[in-house]
Amino acid sequence: MHIVATFKLADARQQGQCLLADDAEKWQADVDHRLPLVDAIVSQTERRVLKGEKMPAREKVVSLYEPHTDIIVKDRRQVQYGHKLNLVQGKSRLIPDLVIKEGSPADSDRFIPMMERQK
């Protein structure tokens, strides 16, 4: 199932909705960007809920407004969404190094590479 929806500025103008040219272009760009994400969310919902398929975390869209959001799982703790940060704090309490990795790499896998970066 695919969502078939088209939103065009001309249609909005015919319906008497007044938009300034700049606002209308921003609105159209936003709609054009979000429609494929909505389609992906509907598709993954069908696969997971209706067909019972398991999907890898990297294939899931978990945020319509931040589609690059990662699923972060740590042991038995509650699942979190966002980006996993690896940072180093110095004696002065300043942060001299920060790395943002895609996905949810294990902290133990990131420890040595972060230490090596400080040499």
Contact 82, 72 (CB under 8 A): yes
Place of tokens 């890898």: 56
DSSP secondary structure letter of residue 80: E
What is the pLDDT at residue 18?
61
Whole-angstrom CA distances from 19 to 5, 11, 36 are 20, 12, 24
Average pLDDT over residues 4-33: 69
Q: Check the CA dihedral 106-63-65-27 and report its sign.
A: positive
Tens digits of per-residue pLDDT, 23-37?
778 888 888 888 899
Say yes or no to pLDDT of 4 above 60: no
What is the pLDDT at residue 49?
92
Instruction: Dig out the tokens for 93 from the structure.
Output: 């309490």
3-class SS of residue 70: strand
Say yes or no to pLDDT of 117 above 70: yes
110 Cβ contact partners less than 8 Å away, ≥ 6 residues apart: 86, 99, 101
Between the CA atoms of 107, 108, 111 and 112, what dihedral angle is there, to the nearest 10 degrees?
-150
Residue 70 — φ and ψ, nearest 5°? -95, 155
Average pLDDT, the chain: 80
The length of the chain, given as a count of residues: 119
